[in-house]
Amino acid sequence: MNFCMTRCTSVIAAAMACLAIATPAIAQEKLKLINVVELSGAGATAGTNWKNGIDLAVADINAKGGILGRQIEIIHYDTQTNPGNTRAAVQRAIDEGTYAVLGPVFSGPIGASMQIAQRAEIAQLVGGEAAGLTRQGNPYLFRTSLSQAAAMPKIAAYLQKEVKAKNIAVVWVNNDFGKGGRDAILPELAKLGITVGADVSTEQGQADFAADAIKVKNANVDAVFVYLNEEESARFLSAAKQQGVGKPMIGETTLLGSKVISLAGDAANGVRGHVGLSIDAPIPAFQEFGRKFQANYNYASDHNGLKGYMAVSMIKWGTEKQKSFDKKGLADTLRGATIRPSDEPGIMITTKIEQNGDLDRESFLAEVIDGKQIIKGTLPMLNP
């Protein structure tokens, strides 16, 4: 009896010891990804969508067995939309052994932090669109959306051919995103002979747009190109409606995003423009993502949700392509690659990654009708 009890105790002790040893081993098997993103401050809307898209991708990938058999462990750090905090968070992510850095979304914090991931030779997948980001020769930076350099020629052509505008107002936000967009569109407008009747600079986080709307109204232009972040876009559209601006409002992706539509309400109706990514695009995978996002988070994803999902899918594709978890190798694999949905369903649309980290893929023309973004046409890749 005593022997039996001793033996049983020994077996249990041995099993517990094995479990204790095995637990860290299992934990080590997880692939750590750290997302450094704007969860509060001016970039909270964009950052929250990006984060939720990432969480969805991680859940989907883990449910299907992970990446090369390893489950993903995702950690999110809030930068508060502060460049200093972003630098610290990227450094912390690298120190904590992230396989790749995800985020941030706002171009200013990206510009302030991208050198840290570059020095560590770790791929950084970001949501920023400022043209200047990929002109700095950083081989570890990868976009998840079209850059302004790719989008603005399309917008300028749209203003000329579809809107038939000859004189427009440009309303932009005075941060890296807005300045980059303004600097990218002005030469394109000049090439097409479109003049800028009002060049209106606004501030990030600005609450009151009444004066800006009055300024635009009195500029007597044919159309207004609005290039602001999400919340500011909604506030400007509301102010423009209140002041009776009454001109076509043209934008690029953000202005037609679901968050802007929901915040601006009726004031968003009639807004037109170019969108890089949209859950309403005539691509079944986008629409399926939109439904899944809605079911999980109870609101419609904007383009940042799609970008977050695609960022993790790019990492999955690159890792499986190189068949290892080499951090530097991931960046090397992604650079110059073309990812097709047949190879990696999470990418949803054929995506070509340029050598400088820019993307090329199809994009869309859209209009907001009755509070919903309606896709009016598809534009081809620039360099298929």
Is residue 153 reached through a cis peptide bond, with omega within 30 degrees of 0 on the bond before it? Answer: no
Could you identify the residue written with the tokens 């170019």?
Answer: 274
235 binds another protein (CB under 8 A): yes
> Which listed residue (136, 218, 220, 324) binds another protein by CB under 8 A?
218
> Which listed residue (234, 256, 300, 312) binds another protein by CB under 8 A?
234
Least Cβ distance, residue 218 to another protein (angstroms): 5
Q: Chain-centre distance of CA 51, in angstroms?
A: 10
**Collapsing DSSP states into helix, strand and coil, what is residue 339?**
strand
Nearest to 71 by CA among 63, 80, 82, 83: 63
Q: Containing H/E element for 250?
A: strand 249-252
Specify the stretch interacting with another protein by CB under 8 A; choose among 106-114, 120-128, 194-202, 364-372: 194-202
User: Where on the phi/psi map is residue 350: left (φ > 0), alpha (ψ -120 to 50), or beta?
Assistant: beta
Handedness of CA 321, 327, 329, 334 (dihedral sign): positive
201 binds another protein (CB under 8 A): yes
238 binds another protein (CB under 8 A): yes
> Which listed residue (62, 174, 322, 338) binds another protein by CB under 8 A?
174
Which CA distances in Å does 199 have to 183, 202, 310?
12, 10, 34
242 binds another protein (CB under 8 A): yes
Which CB atom, from 217 or from 361, has the smaller least distance to another protein? 217
> Which listed residue (41, 139, 329, 345) binds another protein by CB under 8 A?
41
307 binds another protein (CB under 8 A): no
239 binds another protein (CB under 8 A): yes
Specify the stretch interacting with another protein by CB under 8 A; choose among 93-101, 256-264, 349-357, 370-378: 256-264
Amino acid at 57: A
Which CB atom, from 239 or from 365, has the smaller least distance to another protein? 239
List beta partners, residue 73: 32
265 binds another protein (CB under 8 A): yes
**Collapsing DSSP states into helix, strand and coil, what is residue 39?**
coil
Q: Containing H/E element for 338?
A: strand 338-339
The site for another protein (CB under 8 A) is made up of 39-41, 44-45, 48, 174, 200-203, 205-208, 210-212, 214-215, 217-218, 230-231, 234-235, 238-239, 241-244, 259, 262-263, 265-267
